[in-house]
Structure 1
C-alpha cells in the first residue's frame, strides 16, 4: 500500500477516535483551522471544475468532512462542558461575532444554520435528485447514440467504451450526490442539537459544579457555544455551497469564474440600463443621490470598459482570422485545395445576376434541379452539382459553361427580351436584334414584350431568357456527359444496382471486368447519346461477353445490340418508319480492308484521300436530308459501324451511326440516300 493511501486510512481512523479520546486544546485549535482550510479548498476546487465528473470523489469527501466536523463538535463539547474552555479559535469566533451581545451572536448563528439547512442544502439535495433521475432516463438514448456513431465509423471501439464509462460514472455520481446531501442535512440538525446541549449543559455544570453565578455561566458558555457552532457551521456552509455549485454546474470549456465574467460582461448595454435605473431611484425616491450615484457611475465606467474590451476582442479576432487566412495561403495544403476542379460550372456577367437571385424573381437554381432530374431520366447518370458564380471578367450579358475547368459553351442574353426563332417563313413585320440560338445554333432574333404576341401568332418559337439558358445547359451536359462519368460515378451506379441485383454485380465485378472497363463502355454509349439508364441489361451483356474480350469497342457493340429496342425507339416514333442514309458496299469494303489488328485491339488505318472522299460523300447525303427537314441517321453493317463512327465523329459528331443489328426487325427502314465511293 502506498504511503498516501495509508495516510488516508489513518486519518479516517483518527476521526473516529476523536469522538472517544479527549483531545488537548492546542491540538483542537490546530484541527479546527484544518477543517476551515479543507472547506475553503473544496469550494475552490468545485468552482474551478468544468464538469461534475472532474470532482467525482466529492460525495465520499462530503461524508468524510461531515464526520470530521461531528468529531470536532464532540471534542469541543467535551472541553466546554468539562473545562469551560475550547481553545482560542472557538473563543475568538464567539467573541467576534457576538460583539459583546450574546443575543446577536445567537441570532447570527441561527441564521447561518437556517440558510444552510433550508436554502443551500435543500436545493442541492433536490437538484442532485432530479439530475440522478434524468441521467438514468437518458442512459438508453445516449447508449444508442454511441452505438450509432460506432457503426457509422465516427468513433472507434476504445472511444465508444470511454463514452459508455462516462455515462455510467455520471449516473453513479448523481446517485451518490443524492444520498450524500442527506449527510449535510443531518449535520445541520446535529449542529442545532449540539448548540442546545452546550448551552443548557454549560449552565447546569457551571452553576452546580463550578460555582459560577448565573450571569457568569451565561456569558461564558454562551460565547463558547456560539464560537463552537460558528467554527463548525461556517465550513459546513462552504462545503454545502460547493455541493450546490457542482450539481448545478453545466459542462463548459471554462471554470465558474471564467464563465461568470465572460457571460455577464458580454452585455455591457444592460449595465447602462441598470445605471439609469439607479439614477432614477436617487432622484425620485427618498434614497439619497449620494448613495445611488456612485454605484451608477461605477456601472457606467464598467460598461464603457467592457464595451472597449469587446471592440478590442472583435478587432483581435478579425486580425486572427486574417492571419489564419494568410497562413492558409502560405501553407502547402492551400496549394492542394487549388487543384480541385469543379465538374460543371456556370459563370455569368453581372448583368445576368437577376437570373440566379431569388430576391429578384430568378429561378435558375430551381431550373438546375429540374435539369439534373431530366438528365437522370434521359441519360441514366447522376449529374454532379453545378457550381454557379458571377464573373466580372465577362461582358455584362454574357455567360459561359465550363466542364472540368474548360469553357465548352458560351452565350449572350438580353433579360428584358425574348428569343424568337423563325418557323421557316419570315415575317417582315417581326423585327429585332439578330442573334444565334446558343443550344442548337439556329438563327434567331431578340424581340421585346410588345412584339412577342405578334411573333407567336406568326408561328415563331418564342422563348424567355431563363429557358434559353436552361436548354443550352441541358444540351451541353448531354453532349459532354461521357466526360462527367468517371470511375467513382460508375461505382456509385453499380452499387445502386447491387442493392436489387447482387448476384449480377458479384458475377461481373471484379472477376470478369473491372470498374474501369465498365466505365469505358458506359462513356462510349453516352458519347453517342445512348442512355445507360437500363444498367441491368448493360451489365448482363458485359457479364456474358466480358470473358471473351476486354476490348471496350467490341463490348460497346455487344451492348448496343442488346439495347436494340431502346435505340430503335430513340430514333423512331411508334408506327413510323426510320429514314436513313445507307452505306454502300464499296465504302464498307474500303473500311473493312483498312482495319488493322494490334495487341491493344483493332483500329482503322484509312489513307487520307479515301477518308476525305468518304467525308465528302456523307456530308452531301446529310445536307440533302437536312434540307428536306429530316433527321439524318447513317445505317451500316455491324462489322464496320464503330470504325465508321470513329471516322466521322470529328466532323459529324451529332449524326447518329447505327447498324442493322441495333434495330428491331419490325421497324420499317427507308433509304433516303446511299454513300458510295
Structure 2
C-alpha cells in the first residue's frame, strides 16, 4: 500500500533521502574500497560548497528551514567517511588518492606543518564559528519566542483593519512558528558541528598512533618511517574531513546571522559596505598617503587605491542618475496631480467604464506620440472615420492608457471595462505575414497575426528588403494593433451602439429628415426599440448608414407589429441592395448554398418564440447533421476562395442564422426577399440531412 502510494505520487525524493540516510549508517560498518571512498569524499566537499552558496543566496531563514536536519545528516556522513578512512589507514596504510593529495598539497614534506594547519582550522571552527553560530541561534530563538505574542497581535490588527485577508494572516502566523522552530533547531544543531570537530581530532590521533603501532610492531616498519607516513595520512584525512565541516559551520553562521531584508547576502553587502561614495573616496586617498611612506610596498597600495577610487566614481555617478530619476518622477507626479485636479469630476460619469479602450505596456508608449506620422493615435482616428463611413456608426473617442500590470510589449483591448482581445507587439521589429515561404530564410520571433490568426514572424528592420523582394506582406507594429482594434470594433459594433449613440445619429440627420423622425419617435416606436433594430443589423455586419430607409421602414411597419425581429427582417428587405452587394463576386454573381425543402420545413416547424427572440428547437443529432452538411461544402468553397452565402426562405432565415452563428460566424444567411431581381444567383450546393 505504501509503495503504491509513493509510486502514484512520484515521491521519489523521499525514497532517495531515506536510502542516503541508511547508507550513511552503512559507511560505519561496511569496508569501502579506496576508489569509492575518493568519490564519497568529493561528494562531501561538493555538498559543503553547495550548502555554503545556498546560504549566501537566501533572502530569509524561512527559505532554508531544512538546514538543521541537513546539518545532522552531513555530520553523520563526515563521521562515516572518517571511520571508513581510518579502517583503510590502519589496515592497508593507504586511504585513497584524495586524502593523499590533501596531505601532499597542504603538508608537503613536513607533516608537522600540516598538523599545525589542521589544529588551527579545528580551533577556528570550534571556538570562533561554531560557538558564535550557536550563541546567535540561542539568542535569536529566545527573542523570536518573546516577540511572538506581539507579532501575533500585529497580524490580528492588520486582519481586523482589512489590510490583509485571512489567508495572508494564516501564512504570517505559520512563518512566525517556522522561524522560531528554525532558530531553536539551529541552537541544538550547532552542537553536532562542535562534536564533529572534536571527533575529527580524536580520529586523527587514533590514525596517527594506531598506524605507527600497527605498522612498526606488526609490519616491521621503522618508527620514524611509520611516523612520516602516517603523520601525512592522518593530517590528510583530518583536513579532508574538517574542510567540508568548516564550510558547513560557516554556512550555519551566515544563515543565523542573516536579517530578513529581502536581499541576498551579495546584494546586501554591496549596499551596506559602500553606503556613501565619500567614504570610498577617503579610503582611496588614505591608501595613496600610506603608499608614499618610505619602506611600504607601493604597487599593492596603489592598486587598492585605484579600486576604491573607481568605486567612489561609480557611486557618485549612480547617485546623480538616481537623483535625476527621482526628480523626474516627482515632476511626473506633480503633472499627474495637476491633470487629476483639472479632470476631477464628482459626477457619476467620472467613474463609469468607457465603451472601448486600449491598454498598452510601457515599451509601447512611444507609439502613441501624436507628432509621429504613423502614430497609434492617428490610426485610431482613421479607424473611427472608417467605421463611420462603412458601418454608419459614430464611435465615442477611444481611450489609450498605459498599464504596468501588462507585459512591456503587451496590449489589450477592452469593451466596457472587460478584456476582449490581447496581443504582443515588438516596436522595433516588423511583422511578416505567412513567413512559410521557402525562399524567405529569415530569423525572427514566431507569432500569430492577432486580428486573423495567421502565421507570422517578427523580423528586424534590416531584413525588410529581403522580405520585400520575396513578396512577403510586411506590417508595421502600429498597423498590427490598429488592424486588431478594427476587427474587434467591427465584431462588437452592436454592443457599442447604445441609446446615446443612436440619439446622436438621429440628431445628425434631423435637420434634413425631421419628418420621418418626428413620425416614428415616440408615437410609433421608442428610442430603445429603434436601437434594438439597429443592433440586430450590426450583428450581421449590415451597415446602418442608410438611416432614412431604415427609419421609413420602421414607420411603415411599426404600426403593424412591435416585434423587433420581424421589424429587423422588414428593414433587411428594404436594404437588400446594400446587403447583397457585400457578397457579390467579382463578376457580380451571388453564389449561394440552398436548403433542402424538408430541412427548411423542419426548421420552420420547430422554431420557438421566447422573450429573447426566435430559437430553433431541434434534436442534437439533427443539429449535428446540419453542421456536418454545412461544414462539408463551406470548407470546400472557402479553400477555393469562393465567396458564398446561404439562401433561405424569409420564414427560416433568422432561425437558421441563430443556429449556425456560433459554429459559422462568418457565413451569412440571406433570404430570397433580400436579393434584388437583377442579381444573378448561382447555386453551389445544398444543405440537407443526408
Tell me the TM-score normalized by structure 2: 0.48
Tell me the TM-score normalized by structure 1: 0.49
